[in-house]
A and B are shown apart, each in its own frame.
Chain A
Amino acid sequence: MTNRPMSFYFLGAFFILFVLFLYGPNITIAILSFQGENGGLTFPMRGSSLHWYAQLFERQAVGDFSSALLRSFVLGVMVMICTVVFSLLAGLAFRKHFVGSSMVFYLTLASLILPSILVSLGIGLMFDRFGFTPNWFSSGFGSHLTWTLPFGLLIMFAVFNRFNPSYEMASADLGATKLQTFRFILLPLLAPSLMGIGLFGFTLSYDEFARTLMTSGALNTLPLELFAMTTNVTSPVLYALGSVTTLVSLCVILLTLVLLKQLNRKPKHQGK
């Protein structure tokens, strides 16, 4: 098995094609978002400009884009924090078998698997019947958590399955309290995974449409704004918005990766 078989090159080509398929469309709209002022939704490019990006930030032109962005961002951060904390706690709970644990587990799976439109409709109806006003930070927040928490918990399972408990035992043997063990042993070891969960939580919430549909109340989040635009905007401003939101997601991913690297580096420095 030292020489690469033919199938390697064949499969490699397939992989490259898939990556092109994956990124091609996004790159296309990124290019088209720089259309000139008279440009349309397709090629050819009629000049190039930042006209459509400028349009985004003019309030009247395409709806309230900047407040929608801000709302989605704040909601994403709220969801991220709760997802990290609640998944960590639940992950710790599942390390020991407790009565009812399989019920909680199947509930989490159900949350992941049930069609989003059901969750959206249900929460919307519930708020309506109880006379609460749906809002992106109340009902929307809850509906997003039903999407992010299952991902968080599943990642926690994967993490704890590969986790070596002897560090904790050593810490306990040396006389550390439970809280100290948690603070100085468990938390630093789990930090990279927790950041992964945070990344998942933020971006899933930031891009969530179906579960926000009936739960965001009167004010739109960014995906809702985008969806509204797909039905009534037929100019490259749509592509500009698409490219901006993609850029935000990419920045969050990059930031997380950089932080992860920093975290991984730290212990080595201390070791020296």
Chain B
Amino acid sequence: MILSRQIHSYWQALPLTLILLGFLVFPICVILVVSFWDYNEYSLIPDFILENYEFLLTSNVTLKAYLQTFKYAFLSWFFTFLIGFTLAYFLAFHIRSQKNQTILFLLCTVPFFTSNIIRMISWIPLLGRNGLVNSALQTSGLIEQPLDWLLYSDFAIVLAYIHLYTLFMVVPIFNSMMRIDRNLVEAALDAGAAPWQILKDIIVPLSKSGIMVGSIFVFTLVMGDFITVKIMGGGIKANVATLIYNEISLLQYPAAAAGAIVLLITVLMMLMILFRLVDVRKEL
């Protein structure tokens, strides 16, 4: 009986599993194999060499790129967390009717459905040398020369990440906040707790899982991103993924593969730390 029940589960889960095996697990195995291969300008040469890794791990460029990547990841996480938490708190605890909650929530969600590239190029007329921000600052007399660091800079990159990924913080934090028993807050109020005490001792601890899920999203998205750095950094900034992207454009696949494997290991190590702190499966 139990077995026949399980059989249904197996064929039902099969299509998804097959696609993930064929288009995720197997390709990553291919990357792993190719990362040990040799190459010249024309072709890949099956081999087992460690040079790709050796070059990668001893290069100053890699080190700098990793430092940049962690900097972007940390700054983006910090700001998306602050903004995302505040927004989720407002939606969950200050908006009382469920209908309004849904409407405001949808309002935040809509931009998520439009292309990231468009959302990035949308910043050009605002941040450029002759952009709106610079002209506004100049007309108001705050600055004399246009600010150059607004576009094609670390500032622009982090700003774009905040623009793109804050939603990934809002959704899980909002979700866990909605599950907090409102009686707890009432009881704390009755017991004379100050608003910030409620926040610190009840709301933050109880929305920890949402914060974790959001952090995982933002961290991993920023770690693996190369388009934002390419577009918002104007081609002069580099993180780990842009290095891989450049190697792909130069058809240096084994080198790109080695870079990809090192990135994969880095991301997995970070995730292991985060997963220790929260059981994702319980949160769904």
A4→B132 CA distance, assembly (Å) = 36
**A115 with B113: CB separation less than 8 A:** no
A206→B22 CA distance, assembly (Å) = 22
B104 CB-CB contact with A under 8 Å: yes
Which of these, B27, B111, B225, contacts A125 with CB under 8 Å? B27
Interface string of B215-249 (1 = CB under 8 A from A): 01100100111110001000000000100110010
**B114 with A32: CB separation less than 8 A:** no
B202 CB-CB contact with A under 8 Å: no
Q: A86-B16, A149-B16 are in contact. Are A23 and B111 (CB under 8 A)?
A: yes
**B19 with A86: CB separation less than 8 A:** yes
Closest B residue to A99 by beta carbon equals B6
Which of these, A5, A43, A206, contacts B135 with CB under 8 Å? A43
A32→B125 CA distance, assembly (Å) = 8
Interface string of B11-25 (1 = CB under 8 A from A): 111111101111111
Residues on A with beta carbons closer than 8 Å to the beta carbon of B16: 86-87, 89-90, 104, 108, 149, 153
B250 CB-CB contact with A under 8 Å: no
Which of these, A26, A101, A122, A253, contacts B13 with CB under 8 Å? A101
Closest A residue to B16 by beta carbon equals A90
Interface string of B136-169 (1 = CB under 8 A from A): 0000000000000000000000000001001000
26 A-B pairs with CB atoms under 8 Å apart are A8-B94, A15-B90, A89-B11, A90-B16, A92-B8, A94-B13, A101-B9, A101-B13, A105-B281, A115-B260, A117-B260, A119-B23, A121-B248, A125-B30, A125-B31, A126-B27, A129-B30, A142-B22, A149-B16, A158-B284, A207-B113, A207-B114, A209-B117, A227-B227, A239-B125, A246-B118
**B118 with A114: CB separation less than 8 A:** no
Interface residues, chain B, with chain A CB atoms under 8 Å away: 5-6, 8-17, 19-28, 30-31, 34, 83, 86-87, 89-91, 94, 104, 107-108, 110-111, 113-119, 121-126, 128, 130-132, 135, 163, 166, 189, 195, 216-217, 220, 223-227, 231, 241, 244-245, 248, 253, 256-257, 260, 263-264, 267, 271, 280-281, 284
**A121 with B125: CB separation less than 8 A:** no
State how many angstroms separate the Cβ of B228 from the closest Cβ of chain A: 10
A210→B245 CA distance, assembly (Å) = 10
Interface string of A143-167 (1 = CB under 8 A from B): 1011001000110011001000000
**A21 with B20: CB separation less than 8 A:** no
State how many angstroms separate the Cβ of A159 from the closest Cβ of chain B: 10
For the complex, would chain B's binding face be called helix, strand, loop or mixed by DSSP majority? helix
**B9 with A86: CB separation less than 8 A:** no
Which of these, A21, A32, A119, A157, contacts B27 with CB under 8 Å? A119
A123 CB-CB contact with B under 8 Å: yes
Which of these, A12, A90, A110, A116, contacts B12 with CB under 8 Å? A90
A118→B178 CA distance, assembly (Å) = 35
**B119 with A25: CB separation less than 8 A:** yes
**A14 with B87: CB separation less than 8 A:** yes
A189 CB-CB contact with B under 8 Å: no
**B104 with A15: CB separation less than 8 A:** yes
**Nearest 9 A-B pairs (CB), nearest first?**
A115-B224, A122-B27, A25-B122, A93-B12, A93-B13, A98-B9, A142-B23, A242-B118, A11-B90
Which of these, B113, B216, B227, B263, contacts A249 with CB under 8 Å? B113
Q: A42-B130, A125-B34 are in contact. Are A245 and B163 (CB under 8 A)?
A: no
Residues on A with beta carbons closer than 8 Å to the beta carbon of B9: 92-94, 96, 98, 101
**A114 with B126: CB separation less than 8 A:** no
Q: How many residues of A contact B (CB 8 A)?
A: 91
Q: A214-B248, A230-B231 are in contact. Are A118 and B264 (CB under 8 A)?
A: yes
State how many angstroms separate the Cβ of B270 from the closest Cβ of chain A: 10
Q: A32-B125, A242-B121 are in contact. Are A116 and B224 (CB under 8 A)?
A: yes
A102→B11 CA distance, assembly (Å) = 16
A262 CB-CB contact with B under 8 Å: no
State how many angstroms separate the Cβ of B271 from the closest Cβ of chain A: 7
A94→B28 CA distance, assembly (Å) = 26
- Residue among B23, B189, B225, B253 having the largest count of chain A Cβ atoms under 10 Å: B23
Q: A23-B111, A149-B16 are in contact. Are A107 and B25 (CB under 8 A)?
A: yes
**A98 with B13: CB separation less than 8 A:** yes
- Residue among A7, A153, A157, A242 having the largest count of chain B Cβ atoms under 10 Å: A242
Residues on B with beta carbons closer than 8 Å to the beta carbon of A98: 6, 9-10, 13
**A245 with B118: CB separation less than 8 A:** yes
Which of these, A11, A117, A161, A239, contacts B86 with CB under 8 Å? A11
Q: A90-B12, A121-B256 are in contact. Are A11 and B94 (CB under 8 A)?
A: yes
Residues on B with beta carbons closer than 8 Å to the beta carbon of A124: 248
Residues on B with beta carbons closer than 8 Å to the beta carbon of A105: 281
Which of these, B31, B87, B227, contacts A118 with CB under 8 Å? B31
**B17 with A107: CB separation less than 8 A:** yes
A107→B224 CA distance, assembly (Å) = 18
**B267 with A146: CB separation less than 8 A:** no
Which of these, A107, A111, A246, contacts B114 with CB under 8 Å? A246
A41→B128 CA distance, assembly (Å) = 9
A154→B28 CA distance, assembly (Å) = 23
